[in-house]
Structures are given as C-alpha cells and as structure tokens.
A = this chain, B = another copy of it.
Amino acid sequence: MPAASGTPRPPARSGERGIPEAAVARLPLYLRALGGLAEAGETTVSSEELAAASGVNSAKVRKDLSYLGSYGTRGVGYDVQQLVHLIARELGLTQDWPVLIVGIGNLGHALAGYGGFASRGFRVAGLVDADPARVGEEVGGVAVSHLDQLESIVRAEQVSIGVIATPAAAAQSVCDRLVAAGVTSVLNFAPCVLAVPPQVGVRKVDLSIELQILAFHEQRRNVAVAGVAT
C-alpha cells in the first residue's frame, strides 16, 4: 500500500459529498472490475458480484457507491455503464492527463508501454532520460528526449503529472525540477521519500511492499502447518 505522503487534503467545494480518501483508493478497483464485466457482456451487476470481482467486501462496495449517489435497484443491481461513467467522472478520468515519465530504464520502458495508462486517460506526453545514448529511442510510440528538455516538455505539453522512474539518488532533483516547471502531481517509483511543497501531491509506489505482505501471510501459513504436524 503506497503512502499518500505529501498529498494535501483537497479543498472542500460546494455540493461535494466529501468522499473519504480510503474510498477514493477503491474506486479504481471497481473501475477495473467493471471493465471486465462490460467486456463479458454484462449490463448489470450486484454489489456482491462487484465485491468479488474487485476484492472488496460488499458492504463497503455499497457504501462507496453511495458517495457517488448510486444506490442500485433492488433485485437488479447497478447499471454497469452508468457506474463506469460515475466513477470515471469522480476520479477525473473523463479528461486527458498528459504524463511525463522521467528515467527510461527497464521500469520506465515498462511504464511507457503499459496499456493500462492510455485506457484511463493518461497520455504519455514525453519520456526523458539523463543518458544521451537513449535519446531518440522510441518507446510506445514516443521518442525519448534528454533530461535537459524536461522543463520545455512540461510547458509545451501542459504536463500536470510527472512519473519518476529514476534511481533513488536522482529522484529528488528530478522532482524539484518537475515542480519548478509547474507539475503538481508526482508518482514516485524511486525507493525514497520526496520532499515537495504543500500544494504538490506525491504518491509512492514500492514494488516490494506487496511481496512483504505476502511473506507475512506465507510465514503464518507455515507456522500453522508446523503446528498441525506436531
């Protein structure tokens, strides 16, 4: 579970239902599950089905969807397309989000070619790397530019979200440059905590964290098995 460090509380706006942060974090899970149901030709879904497909319990599903003003129809469930629209609108995915990826190593390559971004409105508007040997290489249809171009790409493409996939040692200086150029949201894949001004949002991804949680359960299972054997 990545930390939401540095992400300021969003300001209240009139008519807003004040959806809790934890519920916001579950909306993408519902959206993905609904995409699968729509592909399978389903037009309605019960809260239990949506719960099973998204790995959330059904009471939480109903509560979360009620924040969006959606309560379903007794005996029928929720309309799949309507839910997709409500969630995408709530998350701001109905607009185009130009994204700049900094650091085009293996991870940057994987991110640049990741199909899940484009389908959610995240358009890779630029790729930059400090290594001149990488400049000009095309990844996912976008040519890699030199790190020197960071500021000009942010301005020309009106980038609001920067993705940092550099080594940890370079991450803070890249972050500072993104913020100075006008970026207000940063997704950090580098294994370090970034300092940002209060108006800038940062989310951190650590690829080993989920493995650590798996190890916890794996260890418990082993202890339980050993306990049964004695």
Interchain nearest-CB distance for A158 vs B (Å): 12
Question: Hey, what's the 0/1 contact readout for A91-119 against B, CB within 8 Å counting as 1?
Answer: 11101010100000111011101111100
Interchain nearest-CB distance for A11 vs B (Å): 4
Q: State the oligomeric state as a number of copies.
A: 2
The number of chain A residues with a CB under 8 A from chain B is: 81
Task: Please determine whether B116 and A215 come into contact, CB atoms closer than 8 angstroms.
Answer: no
Residue A211 interfacial (CB < 8 Å)? yes
For A8, the chain B residues whose CB sits under 8 A away are: 217
Task: Please determine whether A210 and B106 come into contact, CB atoms closer than 8 angstroms.
Answer: no
For A27, the chain B residues whose CB sits under 8 A away are: 212, 216
A1/B3 contact (C-beta < 8 A), A216-B91, A220-B10 known = no
A206/B28 contact (C-beta < 8 A), A33-B193, A215-B97, A219-B92 known = yes
Residue A90 interfacial (CB < 8 Å)? yes
